[in-house]
């Protein structure tokens, strides 16, 4: 933007409240607390994802109030509004999980609708669960008005270092005879002690870190506990900071660049983050009109190591990373090593390098984040695989602990439920490759997460003995030899649709391949005889989503022509 350009901090709200014809608008707003003075102030929408649906979001009403107070103090007029959330942890393993990824689009659409309709000049979004976080950022990118994202914060660990994944894995432990029902109940009643997002480097903490690295959050917004003074202060500062962006005319399009997305990918890899980050970053890039592909994850992953020993494959939780300084010292390390783009603009109005200039290194003796010369894994744990099973790509999460190569016999299931039943009953054993299909974006519909099956596999002690592949996706809490996002999906006639019981499947994280050991002639013959499954439903949101949604390899977005 040229210095000569005059910035109008009320360019949107004045269309709604100024002038004779807008008297009815002002009358309506007076009823919700506007005064005469408020009509001359920039209006700041505060998108709150508060609900009592899940502990991830149960505290966000207070955070929204704090954010609004910050914006008002800085000369704005805040307006709080709500959007929905869907709990993955509660709906996991049920038909309700079909709505989880769909909720990302509903959230983005609803924020876009309110902000555009009401004429807000700036926006602060506050998210605390896996899908409302990318949904918030997708809306920010679409609207392109001065915006900041605030993370609701991580939950504190339960007793004995437990979290929600401990409960899923305990279920598998019970069926394997390694845990009693009384012990399961003790885990169940203590694992989740209060508000905040799931405790490991699962999807919420992965996305919070990625969003901060992209420049859309204030420093350490991703690394604060939900119930903390730091998080309350973060909200107040965000309200003040968005007014600075409004006055300076700094929008997401000034912040979101190819380089800022590369910074986000780098952080997800260094932290050992969730496969869902791949899906969500592709979707955010689509809304920001930035070209980002699966191959960018491979390119960046070849030079970025995994440094943080965090759950699910590691030992530590986000609250423990917070106590040694959060992600800022890691960002400084990566910047100094030339692995981050320091010239990217951020919501502070300064570059990433400027923000990190005075950040101190981690304390001596900590073993949560390793040095660059002693990585947990020298390259990315997120492997983008191609082959005759996934011509458009698949996303594997392979930490290295389970090895880098797996060859086994296919056990084929047309739903998550049937696969889980066989795993819990002991009908899946060492050397099997569990194939769960018709769970993709269209076929599910909704691309359900497979935490219940992967948790059961780990709980039964089969984490390094069984592989699982799916056109669905995985929870950030999943670990083991798992491959998701197989594209094209079964519902559209992808090769995963014609795998038969007993077919040999090879997965190789080093060569980045995933293949069924069949000739191309046999694959084509089976595809010619393949018939699609009937749709899950022909009515309502699920049906609408199935008709609109793109391939997972494109981010599973719903507005591609």
| Residues facing residue 81 across a β-bridge | 47
Tokens at 409, concatenated: 């016999």
Q: What confidence score (pLDDT) does residue 83 get?
A: 97
Q: What confidence score (pLDDT) does residue 181 get?
A: 97
Cα dist from 450 to 220, 334, 339, 424, 455, whole Å: 30, 32, 32, 14, 8
Q: How far apart are CA 84 and CA 157, in angstroms?
A: 26
Q: How far apart are CA 444 and CA 548, in angstroms?
A: 13
Contacts of 358 (CB under 8 A, 6+ apart): none
Q: How far apart are CA 417 and CA 405, in angstroms?
A: 27
Total residues belonging to the chain: 561
Cα dist from 398 to 99, 273, 300, whole Å: 27, 11, 16
Q: How far apart are CA 35 and CA 40, in angstroms?
A: 10
List the catalytic residues. Answer: 475
Q: How far apart are CA 130 and CA 54, in angstroms?
A: 11
* 3-state class (DSSP) for residue 520: helix
Q: What confidence score (pLDDT) does residue 451 get?
A: 87
- Residue 437: which of 454, 415, 456 has the closest Cα? 415
- Angle between helix 276-287 and 258-270 (nearest 10): 170
Q: How far apart are CA 351 and CA 215, in angstroms?
A: 8
Q: How far apart are CA 560 and CA 550, in angstroms?
A: 7
Q: What confidence score (pLDDT) does residue 4 get?
A: 57
- Sort strands 513-516 and 432-436 into parallel, antiparallel or unpaired: unpaired
Q: What confidence score (pLDDT) does residue 1 get?
A: 47
pLDDT in tens, the chain (561 residues): 455 578 999 999 999 999 999 999 999 999 999 999 999 999 999 999 999 999 999 999 999 999 999 999 999 999 999 999 999 999 998 999 999 999 999 999 999 999 999 999 999 999 999 999 999 999 999 999 999 999 999 999 999 999 999 998 899 899 889 999 999 999 999 999 999 999 999 999 999 999 999 999 999 999 999 999 999 999 999 999 999 999 999 999 999 999 999 999 999 999 999 999 999 999 999 999 999 999 999 999 999 999 999 999 899 999 999 999 999 999 999 999 999 999 999 999 999 999 999 999 999 999 999 999 999 999 999 999 999 999 999 999 888 777 889 999 999 999 999 999 999 999 999 999 999 999 999 999 999 999 899 989 989 999 889 999 999 999 888 888 899 999 999 999 999 999 999 999 999 999 999 999 999 999 999 999 999 999 999 999 999 999 999 999 999 999 997
């Amino acid at each position: 933007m040229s210095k000569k350009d005059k910035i109008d901090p009320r360019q949107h709200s004045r269309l709604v409240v100024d002038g004779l014809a807008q008297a009815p608008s002002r009358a309506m707003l007076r009823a919700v607390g506007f005064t005469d003075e408020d009509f001359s102030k920039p209006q700041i929408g505060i998108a709150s994802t508060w609900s009592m649906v899940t502990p991830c979001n149960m505290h966000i009403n207070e955070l929204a109030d704090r954010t609004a107070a910050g914006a008002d103090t800085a000369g704005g007029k805040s307006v709080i509004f709500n959007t929905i959330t869907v709990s993955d942890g509660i709906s996991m393993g049920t038909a309700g999980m079909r709505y989880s990824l769909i909720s990302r689009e509903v959230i983005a659409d609803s924020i876009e609708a309110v902000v555009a309709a009401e004429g807000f000049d700036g926006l602060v979004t506050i998210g605390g669960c896996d899908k409302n976080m990318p949904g918030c950022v997708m809306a920010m990118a679409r609207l392109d008005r001065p915006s900041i994202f605030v993370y609701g914060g991580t939950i504190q660990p339960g007793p004995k270092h437990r979290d929600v994944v401990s409960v899923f894995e305990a279920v598998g432990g019970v069926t394997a005879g390694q845990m009693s029902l009384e012990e399961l109940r003790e885990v169940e009643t203590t694992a989740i002690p209060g508000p905040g997002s799931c405790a490991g480097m699962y999807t919420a903490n992965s996305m919070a870190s990625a969003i901060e690295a992209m420049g859309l959050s204030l420093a350490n917004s991703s690394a604060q506990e939900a119930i903390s003074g730091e998080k309350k202060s973060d909200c107040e500062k965000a309200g003040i900071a968005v007014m600075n962006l409004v006055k300076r005319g700094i929008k997401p399009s000034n912040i979101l660049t190819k380089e800022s997305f590369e910074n986000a990918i780098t952080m997800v890899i260094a932290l050992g983050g969730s496969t869902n980050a791949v899906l969500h970053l592709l979707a955010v890039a689509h809304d920001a009109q930035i070209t980002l592909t699966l191959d960018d994850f491979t390119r960046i992953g070849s030079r970025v190591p995994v440094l943080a020993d965090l759950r699910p494959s590691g030992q530590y939780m986000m609250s423990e990373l917070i106590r040694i300084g959060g992600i800022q010292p890691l960002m400084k390390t990566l910047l100094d090593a030339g692995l981050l783009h320091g010239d990217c603009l951020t919501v502070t109005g300064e570059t990433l390098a400027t923000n990190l200039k005075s950040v101190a290194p981690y304390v001596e003796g900590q073993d949560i984040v390793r040095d660059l010369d002693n990585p947990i894994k020298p390259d990315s744990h997120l492997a983008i695989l191609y082959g005759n099973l996934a011509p458009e790509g698949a996303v594997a999460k392979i930490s290295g602990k389970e090895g880098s190569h797996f060859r086994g016999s296919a056990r084929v299931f047309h739903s998550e439920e049937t696969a889980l039943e066989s795993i819990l009953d002991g009908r899946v054993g060492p050397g099997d490759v569990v194939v769960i299909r018709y769970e993709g974006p269209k076929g599910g519909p909704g691309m359900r997460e497979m935490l219940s099956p992967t948790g059961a596999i780990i709980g039964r002690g089969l984490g390094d003995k069984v592989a699982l592949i799916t056109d669905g996706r995985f929870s950030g809490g999943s670990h083991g030899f798992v491959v998701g996002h197989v594209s094209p999906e079964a519902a559209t006639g992808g090769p995963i649709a014609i795998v038969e019981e007993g077919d040999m499947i090879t997965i190789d994280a080093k060569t980045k391949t995933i293949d069924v050991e069949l000739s191309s002639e046999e694959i084509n013959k089976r595809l010619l005889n393949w018939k699609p499954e009937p749709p899950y439903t022909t009515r309502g949101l699920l049906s609408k989503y199935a008709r609109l949604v793109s391939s997972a390899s494109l981010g599973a977005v719903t507005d591609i022509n």
